[in-house]
């Protein structure tokens, strides 16, 4: 990345996780240019473009169910909104179980189920749907069984459980093994749909198309975004066919839509980016490169890095001391590396490099991190 003053940076955030295939990947750029020469805008749900249909069909082939349907939109928050609404349509129940620390976007629906940082919610609490139970996120000090006990007792109004397979913004927090599976079981038992927010973790980032499926959990609805459009704003809610059927006959008027949803440019970019991930086996590359990057970081034994957490090319460096990640990320910026502070206490450095990052850039980062932490 080059900023407006001409300073050069290695972007280890992929622009909030978007540029998994790299910034301005030539094949994505080419697909967008070709589409721009053909058609910029179609009539969304009423008379969709061919490229939108192709994208929907492609997304359904990536789904973990034999029959699937997908809805397109622009932002991650849009995809979460579609999933929450689908759950209401399919179950008739408006209550939601979400998790402390979760981040699903800041539009009203997603904000209502986002437990991360009070400051995002507080001014708007009066306008947020209140039937949300925030359950505890398990971790080092709270085991799976104890966390399950903190789920609601009364499920009569709960139509959905929404969960990130790895909490990103909360500090790259992994649930202990078995937790997602337990949520699957509890949701089934109580007639609630399991929505997995794969907006950050999906599409190769964590080493598979879907982190949840890779962990052996088949959700009812999957939200995708960020990397999907290869740099353009595209998101999707993909669902099991029988669940999506709750929306009624697709030939009738769509009761959840948006003027620009499934726009031709974004659809072309998304198809190109999916093709790249598939053809170049980028999910597997993320597994290998991520492992090597984590090993390199651990081998440094940096005194103030308590833990290196990693799945594919999603990493979290647990620092000692709250707010530390703010200072460290600034110091890294001055050394030419873009990283994001994460965690409620801003004590985690979140790393989500593009898969195109090279060894030299990663080695340079590790040396700069040592310096930014004030190490020898």
Ligand X SMILES: Cc1ncc(COP(=O)(O)O)c(C=O)c1O
Binding site for ligand X (CB under 6 A): 16, 75-77, 80, 103-105, 164, 168-169, 197, 199-200, 225
Dihedral angle, C-alpha 254, 255, 256, 260, nearest 10 °: 50
Residue 225 or 343: the one with the smaller Cβ distance to ligand X is 225
CA distance 307 to 376: 19
Structure tokens at 244: 């999506």
230, 276 contact by CB (below 8 A): yes
Residue 74 or 147: the one with the smaller Cβ distance to ligand X is 74
Residue 128 or 296: the one with the smaller Cβ distance to ligand X is 128
366, 292 contact by CB (below 8 A): no
CA distance 311 to 128: 33
Tell me how far, at minimum, the Cβ of 38 lies from ligand X, in Å.
Answer: 26
Tell me how far, at minimum, the Cβ of 281 lies from ligand X, in Å.
Answer: 24
> Which residue minimizes CB distance to ligand X?
76
Residue 168 or 239: the one with the smaller Cβ distance to ligand X is 168
The residue count of the chain comes to 376
Tell me how far, at minimum, the Cβ of 259 lies from ligand X, in Å.
Answer: 17
Tell me how far, at minimum, the Cβ of 350 lies from ligand X, in Å.
Answer: 10
| Phi, psi values for residue 199, rounded to 5° | -60, -40
356, 21 contact by CB (below 8 A): yes
What single-letter DSSP state applies at residue 313? T
What single-letter DSSP state applies at residue 124? G
Tell me how far, at minimum, the Cβ of 102 lies from ligand X, in Å.
Answer: 8
Tell me how far, at minimum, the Cβ of 194 lies from ligand X, in Å.
Answer: 15
| Spatial CB neighbours of 113, under 8 Å, sequence gap ≥ 6 | 80, 84, 96, 98, 102, 104, 132, 162
Pairing of strands 68-73, 132-135: unpaired
Residue 11 or 164: the one with the smaller Cβ distance to ligand X is 164
Residue 29 or 106: the one with the smaller Cβ distance to ligand X is 106
Residue 81 or 368: the one with the smaller Cβ distance to ligand X is 81
Tell me how far, at minimum, the Cβ of 95 lies from ligand X, in Å.
Answer: 20
**Closest by CA position to 220, among listed 197, 204, 250, 203:** 197
């Amino acid at each position: 990345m080059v900023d407006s003053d001409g300073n050069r940076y290695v972007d280890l955030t992929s622009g909030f996780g978007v540029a998994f295939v790299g910034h301005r990947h030539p094949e994505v750029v080419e697909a967008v240019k070709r589409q721009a020469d053909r058609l910029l805008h179609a009539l969304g749900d009423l008379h969709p473009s061919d490229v939108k249909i192709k994208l929907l069909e492609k997304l359904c082939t990536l789904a973990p169910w034999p029959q699937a349907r997908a809805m397109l939109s622009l932002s991650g928050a849009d995809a979460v909104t579609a999933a929450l609404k689908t759950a209401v349509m399919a179950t008739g129940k408006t209550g939601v179980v979400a998790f402390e620390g979760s981040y699903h976007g800041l539009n009203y629906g997603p904000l209502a189920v986002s437990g991360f940082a009070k400051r995002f919610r507080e001014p708007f609490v009066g306008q947020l749907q209140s039937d949300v139970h925030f359950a505890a996120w398990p971790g080092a000090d709270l085991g799976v069984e104890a966390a399950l006990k903190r789920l609601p007792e009364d499920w009569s109004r709960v139509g959905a459980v929404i969960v990130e397979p790895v909490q990103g913004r909360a500090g790259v927090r992994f649930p202990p093994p078995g937790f997602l599976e337990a949520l699957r079981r509890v949701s089934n038992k109580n007639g609630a749909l399991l929505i997995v927010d794969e907006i950050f973790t999906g599409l190769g980032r964590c080493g598979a198309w879907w982190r949840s499926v890779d962990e052996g959990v088949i959700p009812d609805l999957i939200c995708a975004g960020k990397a999907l459009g290869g740099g353009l704003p595209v998101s999707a809610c993909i669902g099991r066919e029988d669940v999506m059927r709750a929306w009624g006959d697709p030939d009738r008027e769509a009761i959840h839509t948006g003027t620009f949803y499934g726009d031709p440019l974004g659809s072309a970019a998304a198809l190109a980016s999916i093709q790249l991930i598939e053809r170049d086996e980028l999910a597997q590359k993320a597994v290998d490169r991520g492992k090597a990057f984590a090993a390199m970081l651990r081998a440094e034994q940096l005194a103030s890095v308590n833990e290196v957490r990693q799945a594919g090319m999603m990493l979290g460096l647990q620092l000692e001391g709250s707010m530390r990640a703010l200072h460290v990320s600034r110091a890294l910026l001055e050394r030419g590396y873009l990283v994001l502070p994460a965690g409620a206490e801003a004590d985690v450095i979140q790393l989500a490099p593009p898969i195109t990052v090279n060894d030299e850039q990663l080695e340079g980062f590790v040396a700069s991190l040592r310096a930014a932490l004030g190490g020898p």
